[in-house]
Chains A and B, each alone.
Chain A
Amino acid sequence: MKYMLLVCFDESVELSQEEGADMESSGMAWATEMAGRGIRLDGSRLSPVSDATTVRVRGGEVLLGDGPFAETKEQIAGFDVIECADLDEAIEVASKHPVARFGAVELRPFWLD
């Protein structure tokens, strides 16, 4: 089963330099472990929502918005594509993601045909 991990947190929460460095290194360690287990297929951090552009087409007209599609406190800050045996394994993988400790990790299964 393929899942998208949407890694979310509140961008307004500022991490100390030490916390930031720790997050960086534990994030790398997580990615390395999951790649080694053949679980993590792809993934990346994303630029903050202040860099986002939202595109809508209404009545043939392209409407642009500066910012994310939804104004929520927690925003998608990165993603990972993982391949797991089932949801239990995906939960184990997600719960080891460092951002899960202060933000949230949403597990979205890929669409099944």
Chain B
Amino acid sequence: MVATLIRMTGDWDLAEECAQDAFALALERWPRDGVPRRPGAWLTTVSRNRALDRLRRTAAEAVKLKEAAVLAPPADPDGAGGDGSGIPDDRLRLIFTCCHPALRLDARVALTLRSLAGLSTAEIGRAFLVPEATMAKRLVRAKHKIRNAGIPYRVPPAHLLPERTASVLAVLYLLFNEGYAASAGTDLVRQNLCAEAIRLALVLTRLMPGDPEVLGLAGLMLLHDARRATRVDQAGDLVTLEDQDRSRWDRREVAEGVSLLQAAQRGTALRGERPGAYQIQAAIAACHATAAEAAATDWAQIAQLYQRLRELVPSAVVELNRAVAVAMADGPAAGLEIVAALEASGALPGYHLLPATRADLLRRLGRAAEAAASYRQALELAATDAERRYLSERLTASVRDAQPS
């Protein structure tokens, strides 16, 4: 459908937008009026009409804009629409509707992929290891709720905007992580999820250029994605950041991620706000992505950023990451102290990275026998084969080192 429209209008963005508009209209109409006999034809007709309207309007607007620029005072600098939130765009309305917090998180994710990314129900099902029929039911249920419960199709008013934007960003980040973390699905499907999450985040940065967290999240995704090719080796094993081939990182994505991060930083400075959680994580990712070699990483800066992140998001996983950064900046003993405090607090039971981190720090302190014991503990908890292989290798090395030569 998008391809048809591109051929017709010669404008990729316009075509995509009109296709999305048609889906949005379908979302409104179909549950009410029933699905048309030929849904594909219906969508194509609606989007083609929409495209023609747009083209006519743009031509008319170009003339009007020139007049307006001469006549009107520069009121309403961000071009606010009638809804008072300043963001007049159908696609944005659709994102906010799909990500409404009254919908279950899995439904939000599925709806976003279906309506905004245009993935088929079967594709979404494959990405989340759910049978197509189950995914279809989930989508229908969500669309029914949108209609029957009166979930508004609009960009939320200013007083709801921060909270609702957070919900949209959470959905996009979940999409990205699902693609990145390799928990399910084939490689191709996963790559597709990451690409869609990035594309939607970038759309959002254009629609809401004044929101630092939107910029921060888009930057964060790009900075992670830049390292995609080097994260696993040919055997499918995870390659640690330290051992990744930095020459294969995507320079273009790093540059774009960094410039988005800088825009986010300018935004928070301008508003006199503290940086949000996505911006801080993007800053951490940028420290890694811009270090010419592993040894050149600014670990002191990273440790500080984790400290700020921890104040914002009090999570034991963040604290564990801070321990690693502190260990790199101030030595393994300092990191070990934080790990010990975490263990004493009883946080992260059954989480293999806790003993794995302790093992690694002990190994670097030359306490090989203790390290081996911790590697064994981590090995029992690790969930994936790749992780178990990695830990087994480290365990073997520690046992060897622990033996008196």
- Taking Cβ atoms with an 8 Å cutoff, the residues of A that contact B are 1, 3, 84-88, 90-91, 107, 109, 112
Q: How far is the CA of A1 from the CA of B149 in the complex (A)?
A: 8
- B404 in the interface (beta carbon within 8 A): no
Whether the Cβ atoms of A88 and B160 lie closer than 8 Å is: yes
A1 touches B102 (CB 8 A): no
In the complex, which of the residues B100, B147, B148, B160 has the most CB atoms of chain A within 10 Å of its own CB atom?
Answer: B148
CB-based contact A87/B160 at 8 Å: no
Taking a contact as CB atoms under 8 Å apart, the answer to whether B149 and A107 are in contact is yes
- Let me know if A91 and B150 touch, CB within 8 A: no
Contact B150 A84 (CB under 8 A): yes
- Tell me the bound Cα distance from A98 to B171 in angstroms: 31
Is B156 an interface position by the 8 A CB rule? yes
Residue of B nearest to A108 (CB): B149
A3, A88, A90, A91 pick with most chain B CB within 10 angstroms: A88
Residues from chain B with Cβ under 8 Å of A3 in the complex: 150
Task: Let me know if B152 and A86 touch, CB within 8 A.
Answer: yes
Which residue of chain A lies nearest to B31 when distances are taken between CB atoms in the complex? A112
**Which residues of the other chain, A, contact B147 by a CB distance below 8 angstroms?**
112
**Alpha-carbon distance A112/B31, docked complex (angstroms):** 12
Residues of A within 8 A of B207 (CB): none
Q: How far is B102's CA from A40's CA once the two chains are assembled, in angstroms?
A: 22
Assess the B151–A109 pair: CB atoms within 8 A: no
* A19→B252 CA distance, assembly (Å): 61
Complex interface: chain A residues within 8 A of B102 (CB):
87, 91
The smallest beta-carbon distance between B142 and chain A, in angstroms, is 13
Q: CA separation between A107 and B150, bound complex, in Å?
A: 11
26 A-B pairs in the complex with CB atoms less than 8 angstroms apart: A1-B150, A3-B150, A84-B150, A85-B150, A85-B152, A86-B150, A86-B151, A86-B152, A87-B100, A87-B102, A87-B149, A87-B150, A87-B151, A87-B152, A88-B151, A88-B152, A88-B156, A88-B160, A90-B150, A91-B102, A107-B149, A109-B148, A109-B149, A109-B150, A112-B147, A112-B148
B94 to A: closest C-beta gap in Å: 16
Binding site for A on B (CB under 8 A): 100, 102, 147-152, 156, 160
Q: Which of B100, B102, B149 has the largest number of chain A CB atoms within 10 A?
A: B149
**Given the complex of chains A and B, what is the CA–CA distance between A3 and B148 in angstroms?**
10
- Among residues of B, the one whose C-beta sits closest to the C-beta of A111 is B148
Closest-by-CB residue of A relative to B101 is A91
**Which residues in B have their C-beta under 8 angstroms from that of A90?**
150
Q: Quote the shortest CB–CB distance from B348 to chain A (angstroms).
A: 30
Kindly list chain A residues whose C-beta atoms are within 8 Å of the C-beta of B100: 87
Task: Give B32's nearest chain A residue, CB to CB.
Answer: A112
* Chain B residues whose C-beta falls within 8 Å of the C-beta of A107 in the assembled complex: 149
A68 to B362: give the CA distance in the assembly, Å. Answer: 60
CA distance A18 to B149 in the complex (A): 36
From B148, B150, B152, B156, residue with most partner A Cβ within 10 Å: B150
List 5 extra interface pairs beyond A88-B151, A88-B152, CB under 8 A.
A85-B150, A85-B152, A86-B152, A87-B149, A112-B148
CA distance A25 to B161 in the complex (A): 32
Please, how many angstroms separate the alpha-carbon atoms of A102 and B334 in the complex? 43
CA distance A107 to B100 in the complex (A): 15
> Which of chain B's residues has its CB closest to A88's CB?
B152
Chain A residues positioned under 8 Å from B149 (CB to CB): 87, 107, 109
- Cβ of A109: which chain B residues have Cβ within 8 Å of it? 148-150
Point out the residues of chain A lying under 8 angstroms from B150, CB to CB.
1, 3, 84-87, 90, 109
* Residue ID in chain A nearest B102 by CB atoms: A87
B contact residues around A87 at 8 Å (CB) = 100, 102, 149-152
Residue on B nearest A84 in the bound complex, by CB:
B150
How distant is B46 from chain A, measured CB to nearest CB, in Å?
A: 23
Docked CA distance A85–B148 (Å): 13
Q: Tell me, rounded to whole Å, the shortest Cβ–Cβ distance linking B328 to chain A.
A: 45
Whole-angstrom CA separation of A84 from B149 in the bound complex:
11
| A86–B153 CA distance with the chains assembled, in angstroms | 10
The chain A residue sitting closest to B156, CB to CB, is A88
B111 to chain A, nearest CB (A): 15
In the complex, what residue of chain A is closest to B147 when comparing beta carbons?
A112
Q: Which residues of B contact A85 (CB under 8 A)?
A: 150, 152
User: Which A residues are CB-close (under 8 A) to B151?
Assistant: 86-88
- A residues less than 8 Å from B152 (CB atoms): 85-88
Residue of B whose beta carbon sits closest to that of A2 = B150
CB closest residue in chain B, given A110: B148
- Which 5 pairs from chain A and chain B are nearest by CB? A1-B150, A86-B152, A86-B150, A87-B150, A109-B149
- A37–B147 alpha-carbon span in the complex (Å): 24
A86 to B100 CA separation, bound complex (whole angstroms): 12
